Structure 1
């Protein structure tokens, strides 16, 4: 039998989540959590029960567990299950929901136990792997927020964000003048006296980017200017406020589709 394992991801800068990555053929008794939970099988299939309903959890399916929902999820094949389970603080989830629907005052339970959707399954799997990677914590936070804005939007009324132009323009002006900094959503929230999730919703509604993704684009655009003007890759990374060369290289390649070195060679003879 293949050796079993369990890995846990937590980070003090993301105190609202815990991610479990495990393989198991153990059978769990029915139980509940005080968190909102989302899980998938990367390998194998399970019998997933939630209150009085039972499902076969397979590829391209996400199990949805509301707080205090009595549930279990146990392997139903000879294959050793490999799965991810993410546990989220309901206050954090409620704030995400409120950024989507302003009428939300308490966490809104999701009305289904299963989401069968290949796109969401793939995005969730990518998110889980990204959290366990050595990527920077602001990038991880950005990916978590982006995924759950999309996820909760499936089940909530999307309200219009009022007074968006003035607030959005003020934040954009600030970011454009402070592109060298690595500004967190909490810092923006304090600076502009706005709910952090309101700011996220504002950006998504206006340009379909999170504030962090917008900042990275600003940095890359400035980096392109510097590389065109013969700056070294090291100096460009420093001047644009990247954590290090690796962080610069990774994000530049994602956005420009070539490496900083390849880009620079087009302008420096």
Structure 2
């Protein structure tokens, strides 16, 4: 991960980029800077955390504040500027259009080009909080695989709002082969790209296989295998440190976070039931 930081008094701009996630750029800013109308070749989303601004897009003007999400399709002329002279804090996320198109194809195989999102604005407290959490997670110390998984999950959900699902189920023996491989190599932090290389498949095709067969991403499936194995070790009285290492988690924090998400209790609380 590379981070750039521009700071003056209470102003700041933090930028997340990572060569393992080349399709993504995320900005977290607190600034009163004003921008003229402009375009991006990326698909963009943004939220205000503090302060209000005027958001212009698709020949319309919006009073942009908390709980609203700005959606900017590639090549759309837009601007977003603070109403007052005070700084306003915001997240702005930019995604490569081709990456978005690949996610859209996991939802429907009947599209042959990137589909613009129909709305310039989403008014939803729930979706706003999910996007804010995603941005915070991307800036966290979570693994690249976890960040990629959360991005896939979030943007699949977003595009499902505007793209009809493909109804037919994919029948491919590679699905069972990949599952078997993950069960055998669960101690490794296998990336989507590694799976694609191993089975000579498009990584987004693998996502589609998993979503249509078990409604989860390959990474989430792998994490579930790790957690199920960790439960057996904890029942036998293994320490948290040894269990985390044995199951291939990056560290104890990584293990704790994922165990809590899936089992709804901490590894230590779970272990106490058996010792």
Give the shorter-chain TM-score range. over 0.9
Offset at 1:2? 7.0
Q: State the number of aligned residues.
A: 268
Q: CA deviation at 1:92?
A: 0.8
Match of 2:82 in 1: 75
Residues in 2 aligned to 1:26 and 1:163: alpha-carbon distance in whole angstroms = 49
> Which of 166, 172, 175 is residue 179 of structure 2 equivalent to?
172
Aligned-pair CA distance for 1:44: 1.6
- TM (normalized to structure 2)? 0.91
Instruction: Give the conservation status (yes or no) of the 8 Å contact 2:170–2:212.
Output: no
Aligned counterpart for 1:150 among listed residues 133, 157, 162: 157
Which of structure 1's runs of 4+ aligned residues deviate more than 6 A?
none
Counterpart position of 1:5: 12
Deviation of 1:237 (Å): 1.4
Deviates more, 1:169-178 or 1:53-62: 169-178
Please give the TM-score of this superposition, normalised by the length of structure 1.
Answer: 0.93
Cα RMSD (Å): 1.9
In the alignment, structure 2 segments of 5+ residues that lack a partner are 1-7
Which one of 265, 269, 272 corresponds to residue 262 of structure 1? 269
Decide whether the 8 Å contact of 2:169 with 2:213 is kept in 1: no
Deviations 1:174-197 (A, max 9, x none): 222221111111122223333222
Partner of 1:186: 193
CA distance in 2, matches of 1:79, 1:205: 48
Give 1:79 shift.
5.1
Distance in 2 between the 1:264 and 1:154 partners? 41
Q: Which deviates more, 5-14 or 239-248? A: 239-248
For 1:86, what is the secondary structure of its paired residue? strand
Measured in 2, the distance between the counterparts of 1:161 and 1:122 equals 33
Kept after mapping to 1: 8 A contact 2:175/2:209: yes
The corresponding residue for 2:248 is 241
- Runs of 5+ consecutive residues of structure 1 not aligned to the other structure: none
In the alignment, which of 71, 93, 96 is matched to residue 89 of structure 1? 96
Aligned to 2:139: 132
State how far apart, in whole Å, the 2-side matches of 1:227 and 1:28 are. 55
